[in-house]
Chain A
């Protein structure tokens, strides 16, 4: 089907590739269908584009690509609501915030990843309540003033 998007224009997409959010991306309760778009070839970044709202897209990445130690146990509730049977079916995406005027102070949300079951395409934004992960973990070390 054709999908209209603000950032990427009209895309030709397969409905079978849609992620269905069983628990919403916080603040976007009515947005339940998204599609993952590569930023460009070999990029560490991707976009989570809403199927319903052309202007709605989140910048996402994979924490490990930045050398971040990202290990945790998935809450039982999430495992159940996503019908996950094996950890190999999991895709964990982290939402990135890039300040327009200063990309050096970009942050990554490690506390609330988007967890996807690649087999069933069910997805959920999960808050890792018992972890020490941060919502705004800096992608770069703070610059040291000389």
Chain B
């Protein structure tokens, strides 16, 4: 692994088109700015891992588990009225 020292305001360039700037760093907190092509996906690590974990847990589901959840749902009075998902995309 490459380890670099940077001062506030200094940058790192990765692969010609990704630019990382240390905006502000003090004590245990560091603010960084990332400039990258829009197809580069950037996530906070903990969010990424939380999703991985949920995916892994979902793969542990058995047919019986869904059956028991489905019967809970059908008995439940608190499940609200069905709605339609509203997903917007840019017009071409």
Contact = CB atoms under 8 A, between A and B. Distances in A.
A28 B55 contact: yes
A116 to B, nearest CB: 11
Interface residues of A, number: 61
A43 B70 CA distance: 8
B32 interface: no
Interface residue tally of chain B, by bracket? 35 or more
Interface stretch (B1-9, B10-18, B19-27, B75-83): B75-83
B58 A76 contact: no
Given A97-B58, A127-B43, A87 B63 contact: no
B81 to A, nearest CB: 5
Interface string A63-75: 1111111111110
Interface of B: 38-39, 41-43, 47-48, 50-52, 54-63, 65-66, 68-70, 72-73, 76, 78-90, 92
11 contacts: A45-B69, A65-B82, A66-B79, A67-B80, A72-B86, A73-B89, A87-B88, A103-B65, A109-B51, A109-B58, A125-B51
